Amino acid sequence: MAIFAGCSTTHVDSSRMEKGSFLHTEKGDPISQGDTYKVNLRKNRVKLDKKTQYSQTRTKHFAKVKRERIETETYKPSAAIIIALPAQPFCWAGSILVMDNPASCLELLYEKEMDWRVKRSRVPGQTFTESKEVSFSKWYPGSNNKVSLYLNQEKLANLRTNDEGVAKFDLIKLLSSRSLPPGTLLKGKEATLMAASRGARDTLSLSHDYFDGLPREYWIAHYKAQKSVLAKKELIHTTCGKAAESTREYFRCYYRSKTVQTAFGPGELHAPPGKGSSAVGPKAIEWRDGRTFSGKTVRGDNGQPALVGEVTYPDGRRFVGDVLNDNSDGTLYSPSGDILFSGKFKNGRPTGWGTGETESGSLKPVKFADGEKVSNPARKEAEKAVETEHQRAMEATQEKVEELEEETATQEAEKKKLASAFSDWKRHNSKMWEKCACEIPMDMGGQFCLSANPTFESAEEREAHERAAERRHRVCMEWARSDRRDKGDYYEKRMAQVDRDLDRKLEQIEEERRLAEIRRERLRRKHERQRQAKIRARKAEIKAQREKRLAEKKRNCQASYARTGAVVCGCQPFLDVGDVATCMK
C-alpha cells in the first residue's frame, strides 16, 4: 500500500491597470469671467449688487492599481481507499473494481479542484488624474458706483453708492431743485421712476398724489414760466383756471384731464369742469392736424364710455359715428355731402365692405382697404376666389403622395427602432456570453473551463464565494434556456420584411408622383380654358350677395328708426333724416 501527498499550482491568468483609489483633490485659483449688476429701487434709496462669475480647475488624483486574475489548481488525495496489487491485473478502490493495469489506479489517487481570485495592488509611483472646469458666482455690494436717476425718461440726478452699495436720496428735494415742468410729472396715469447703473435698471411707479408733497413755490414758479404756453389751449386753460383753487390743482386739471385716445388718434379733450374723459356729457376734441370733434360721451352696450358725434376734417369731409373704439361704425361724407363710405372704421379709416353713393344719388356696395377705395372689388374678390379654388384642386392631387410619404416615414422610424433594439440585444448577449461561457454546459453551447478556489480562504469567504457562484450560475442558465436565438431570428426577419415594404412604398410613391403630375397638367389646361367664365360667374354671385346684404341692412335700419326714433351709427344712408351730426351706438 502507498501513501500520496496533495499539491497545488497557481498562475496569473490576466492583469490590467485600473484608475485605483482616491488620493486628494487640487483646486486651481478662481479666474474671474465677468461681472453683472442688479439694481433695487425704492422711494428713498437705491441698492446696487454685483455678481462676479468665476471659473476654476479642479483636479482629482488617484493611485494606480494593478488588477490581477489569479487561478489556483489544487490536487488533494482521494477519500477512497485504494488497494493496488502489482502482481494482479486489477485493483480495488472502495466499491470500484478496475480491470486494467495497476498503473491506471493512479487516476483515482487525486481529486483536482480549480478556483480563482482577483488581487489588486497599488503600483508604486504611478497616479491617475481627472481634471474638470467648474463655474460658480458670488455676490458683492456694488460700492463706489454711479447710479443715474430718471423720472418719466427725464434725468434727475447722478448718485454715488457707499461701501454697502446703497445710495439714498430725497425725491421731493430733487424735484424742487430741478427745472422739470409739472407736465413731466403729471402726464399719463402715473409717473415712472427709474434707476440705472452698469447696464442694469429698475423702475418704480408713482401715483400723481405722491407729488402733492412738492412745495407751493414749485408750482407757482412753473406756472409763471409756462403761462404763455398753457394759455394757447384757451378752453382748457380757462376751464382749469376757474375750477382750480391752487396752481397745483390747476396743473393736475390741465395735464390729467385733457387727453383722450380714440380710433382717430390722441386728441385734446375739452371736458366740463370737474369731469373726466369718461364722464357722460358733451365733449369736444381737437387734433394737431386740424381735425375737430363735437359730440357726447354715452354708455356703450358693455357699460364702457363711448364717444359718438361728428369729426370734421380740414378739407371739409365729415365723419359721423362712434369715435372712441378702434373698430367703430359710422358714415364718411364728402365736402359736398355725398356719402363716401358707411360701415366699419378701423383706427379712423374705412375698412371692408360698406355702403357708398353713386353720382346719381343711388346707394351701392363699396369696399375700402386701409383707408383707400378698392376699384372693381367684386371682380378682385372673384379672381381671388377662383385662384384659391384652383390652388386647392392642385394641392389635392398630392394627397395620395403625401399619404404614402407619411406611411414611408412611419416604416423608416420602425426600421430604426428595430435596428436599435437588435443592436441592444446583440450587445446584451455578447456581455452575457463573456460572463456565462464557462457556466453553460457544453451541450448548450458552453465552453470547458477549469476553476479553483484558493486554499487560504476562510470558511466564510468560501461560503460567500459559493453563493455568488450559485447566483451567477442560475442567471446564466436562465439566459441559456431563454429564446435568445429565436429573438435574433425575429429581429432579422422583421427588418428584412420592413426593407421589402419600404422598397414597395418607394415604387408606389414614384408612380403616384407621375400620375399626380399628369393630373396637375390637366387641371392647369382646364383652368386656363374656364378661368374667365368662372370669374364672371363668381363676380355675379358676389354682387348678388352684397345687394342682398344692402337691402337687409336698409330694412334693419328703418325698423330701428321707426321703433326708437334714433339714428344708429352707420344707418344714415338708409334714412331720410337730413344732415345729422350724431348717432346712437
Start-to-end Cα distance in the chain: 131
DSSP 536-561: HHHHHHHHHHHHHHHHHHHHHHHHHH
Mean pLDDT of the chain, nearest integer: 76
5-22 per-position pLDDT tens digit: 445 666 555 655 566 666
Nearest to 119 by CA among 72, 61, 60: 72
Question: Which run of H or of E encompasses 496?
Answer: helix 484-564
Give the Cα-Cα-Cα angle 509, 510, 515 (nearest 5 degrees): 95
Which pLDDT band holds residue 76 (cuts at 50, 70, 90)? low
Q: Beta-carbon neighbour count of residue 239 at 10 Å?
A: 20
User: What SS3 string covers 373-423?
Assistant: ECCCHHHHHHHHHHHHHHHHHHHHCCHHHHHHHHHHHHHHHHHHHHHHHHH
Residue 537 has what pLDDT?
A: 92
Contact 308, 323 (CB under 8 A): yes
Name beta bridge partners: 474. Answer: none
CA dihedral 553, 559, 564, 570 (to 10 degrees): 10
What are phi and psi for residue 571, nearest 5 degrees?
-100, 0
Residue 59 has what pLDDT?
A: 80
Measured on CA atoms in the order 543, 545, 548, 553, is the torsion positive or negative? Answer: negative
453-500 per-position pLDDT tens digit: 555 667 777 777 778 888 888 888 887 777 666 777 888 888 888 888
Contact 74, 46 (CB under 8 A): no
Global pTM reads 0.44
384-405 per-position pLDDT tens digit: 999 999 899 888 888 888 888 8
The yes-or-no verdict on residue 91 having pLDDT over 60 is no
Contact 109, 30 (CB under 8 A): no
The yes-or-no verdict on residue 424 having pLDDT over 80 is yes
Separation in Å, CA 162 to CA 41, 44, 47, 53 = 15, 15, 9, 22
131-143 per-position pLDDT tens digit: 777 787 888 888 8
344-389 per-position pLDDT tens digit: 888 778 889 898 888 777 888 888 887 888 888 888 888 999 999 9
Separation of alpha carbons 237 and 244, rounded Å: 11
The yes-or-no verdict on residue 98 having pLDDT over 70 is no
Separation of alpha carbons 20 and 340, rounded Å: 92
Separation of alpha carbons 387 and 376, rounded Å: 17
Separation of alpha carbons 359 and 20, rounded Å: 101
DSSP 415-469: HHHHHHHHHHHHHHHHHHHHHHTTTS-GGGT---------TT--HHHHHHHHHHH
Cell 435568445, residue located: 484
Separation of alpha carbons 258 and 241, rounded Å: 14
The yes-or-no verdict on residue 551 having pLDDT over 70 is yes
CA dihedral 520, 525, 527, 532 (to 10 degrees): 170
Residue 153 has what pLDDT?
A: 82
**DSSP β-ladder status, 191-197 and 146-151:** antiparallel
Which pLDDT band holds residue 256 (cuts at 50, 70, 90)? low
The yes-or-no verdict on residue 157 having pLDDT over 80 is yes
The yes-or-no verdict on residue 109 having pLDDT over 60 is no
User: 3-state DSSP call for residue 41?
Assistant: strand
Name beta bridge partners: 127. Answer: 63
Separation of alpha carbons 323 and 305, rounded Å: 11
Say which DSSP state 263 is in.
T
Residue 110 has what pLDDT?
A: 56
Question: Which run of H or of E encompasses 533?
Answer: helix 484-564
Residue 550 has what pLDDT?
A: 87
Q: Which amino acid is at 467?
A: R
Which pLDDT band holds residue 521 (cuts at 50, 70, 90)? very high
Q: Beta-carbon neighbour count of residue 281 at 10 Å?
A: 10
Average pLDDT of the residues in 247-253: 73
User: 3-state DSSP call for residue 43?
Assistant: coil
DSSP 148-197: EEEETTEEEEEEE--TTSEEE--HHHHHHHS---HHHHHSSSSEEEEEEE
Output 2-7 pairs: Cβ under 8 A, ≥24 positions apart: 2/84, 4/77, 4/109, 4/110, 5/77, 6/74, 6/75, 6/76, 6/77, 6/110, 7/74, 7/75
Residue 5 has what pLDDT?
A: 45
Separation in Å, CA 184 to CA 42, 154, 157, 255, 334 = 20, 8, 15, 9, 40
Separation of alpha carbons 130 and 145, rounded Å: 41
Which pLDDT band holds residue 337 (cuts at 50, 70, 90)? confident
Nearest to 173 by CA among 221, 211, 208, 203: 211
Average pLDDT of the residues in 214-229: 78
279-332 per-position pLDDT tens digit: 455 667 777 677 888 877 766 555 556 678 888 888 888 888 887 666 788 888
Cell 464557462, residue located: 438
Residue 14 has what pLDDT?
A: 60
b/e 526-560 (16+ beta carbons within 10 angstroms → b)? ebeeeeeebbeebbeebbeebeeebeebbeebeeb
Average pLDDT of the residues in 222-242: 67
The yes-or-no verdict on residue 273 having pLDDT over 50 is no
Separation in Å, CA 53 to CA 18, 36, 56, 123 = 36, 8, 10, 40
Residue 428 has what pLDDT?
A: 82
What are phi and psi for residue 576, nearest 5 degrees?
-95, 75
The yes-or-no verdict on residue 208 having pLDDT over 80 is no
Q: Which amino acid is at 60?
A: K
